[in-house]
Amino acid sequence: MDRLLLMQVFEHVVGENGFAAGARKLGLSPAQVTRMVQKLEDHLGVQLPRRTTRRLALTAAGQMYLDRVREILLDVDDVDDAEEAANSHTSEMSGKIRLLSLPGMPTHLVAPAIAEFRRQHPRVTVELSFDAQASRDIEGHDITLLMGQVPLPGDAVVRHVIDSHSVLCASPDYIRRHGSPRTPQVLRNHAVVRFVLPGVASNVFKLVDEADGTREQVVDVRPVLTCNDHEAALRSTLEGAGISNQAMHVAAPLLRSGQLERVLSPWIYERFTLVATYAGHRHMPARIRAFLDHLLHQVRQAKAGPDSPRASS
């Protein structure tokens, strides 16, 4: 069991790309983690990571060992699953759920579902991570939340979460100071806030008429803020920094409350699908299946456009 712990520590150090980051994830000090990896190396008689001040790099032996460790840790999860199955006859669900998501989804979709699920199942814990390229690590997590168009491994199981679209929004204060754009091309004269993922151009808006999908306009914009953190982009928009595109499930309550106003209706930024996926060859424990069903139910219950949004078109 001591050796298994050392394996888990090593896997976290590699997964977090560093001793300090791995220590934070495990709730240990960097010195503790360093000693544990050294103890593992002493046991194996080989060096696993190279100690450099730059990006963590594995030796050939370290990479080979990591591949086997990950297989072993998957089997450990099967042990946990077997214990849960035995305990389910006499006790409530327990154990950990590992969730991976693209940035931007968790605060408005996942976090509310987690809170309610834990009220129902207090012995279940959740480990939630964000990654702009989340599709790379489906194997390492129980559920991964992605955009529907992302290529997936052939054995991945996909559950549809929600169809949505992005609308253009600004704060009442911004509109009071700068006015509301009346046509898409006028956007080039406005301050724009962009949340961007890898591979997405930050200086272009491709707009589609919500009522007529054949009408499109491509607008060059000059962002005053680009960032890879959705909450920073949203907060900046709420504070009046500029116009941003927001998914409708994020914007709807803010439009209803008057904290944001929609601009350029009926033009939208994009339509998209969110999906939940997991490795199909792995057994899904009861707690994970129950959480996924709960998440889908919560999202569909909450799916609604603004009842009477304040819109400036």
For residue 103, what are the CA distances in angstroms to 56, 82, 110, 245? Answer: 24, 33, 11, 15
Residue 259 DSSP one-character state: S
- Residue 203's pLDDT is 82
Based on the fold, state whether residues 81 and 180 are members of the same structural domain: no
Based on the fold, state whether residues 175 and 263 are members of the same structural domain: yes
Q: Is the pTM for the entire model greater than 0.75?
A: no
Q: Does pLDDT of 1 surpass 70?
A: no
User: Residue 13's domain spans which residues?
Assistant: 1-91
Q: Are 291 and 124 in contact (CB under 8 A)?
A: yes
Number of domains in the chain: 2
Show Cβ contacts of residue 18 under 8 Å, excluding neighbours closer than 6 positions.
56
Q: Does pLDDT of 220 surpass 70?
A: yes
Give the CB-side neighbour count of residue 271, counting CA atoms within 13 A. 9
Residue 255 lies in a domain: yes
Residue 120 lies in a domain: no
Which of 59, 91, 123 is where one domain is finished?
91
Q: Does pLDDT of 276 surpass 90?
A: no
Tokens of 311: 């819109």
Q: What is the pLDDT of residues 206-217, one digit of tens each?
A: 899 988 878 899
**Nearest Cα residue to 275 out of 103, 117, 143:** 143
Query: pLDDT band for position 7 (50/70/90)?
Result: confident
Residue 143 lies in a domain: no
Residue 288 lies in a domain: no
- Residue 189's pLDDT is 92
- Residue 84's pLDDT is 57
Rounded to whole angstroms, the Cα distance separating 153 from 139 reads 10
Q: Check residues 257 and 311 and name the one with the higher pLDDT.
A: 257
Q: What is the pLDDT of residues 68-85, one digit of tens each?
A: 888 777 666 555 555 555
Query: pLDDT band for position 302 (50/70/90)?
Result: low
71: CATH: 1.10.10.10
Which of 63, 91, 119 is where one domain is finished?
91
Query: Torsions phi, psi of 241, nearest 5?
Result: -70, -30
Rounded to whole angstroms, the Cα distance separating 116 from 118 reads 5
Query: pLDDT band for position 154 (50/70/90)?
Result: low
Q: Are 128 and 99 in contact (CB under 8 A)?
A: yes
Phi-psi region of 217 (alpha: psi -120 to 50; beta: other; left: phi over 0): beta
Residue 231 lies in a domain: yes
Weakest mean pLDDT among 32-46, 88-102, 122-136, 290-304: 88-102
Which of 91, 116, 143 is where one domain is finished?
91
- Residue 151's pLDDT is 66
Q: Are 168 and 245 in contact (CB under 8 A)?
A: yes
Rounded to whole angstroms, the Cα distance separating 52 from 101 reads 30
Q: Does pLDDT of 9 surpass 60?
A: yes
Residue 306 lies in a domain: no
- Percentage of the chain exceeding pLDDT 90: 24
**Nearest Cα residue to 157 out of 176, 179, 142:** 142
Q: Are 222 and 194 in contact (CB under 8 A)?
A: no
- Percentage of the chain exceeding pLDDT 70: 82
Residue 85 lies in a domain: yes
Pairing of strands 143-147, 95-101: parallel
Rounded to whole angstroms, the Cα distance separating 280 from 73 reads 17
Based on the fold, state whether residues 87 and 168 are members of the same structural domain: no
Q: What is the pLDDT of residues 233-252, one digit of tens each?
A: 999 999 999 999 998 888 88
Residue 203 lies in a domain: yes
**Nearest Cα residue to 165 out of 103, 107, 251, 275:** 251
Based on the fold, state whether residues 80 and 170 are members of the same structural domain: no
- Residue 191's pLDDT is 95
Pairing of strands 204-209, 57-58: unpaired
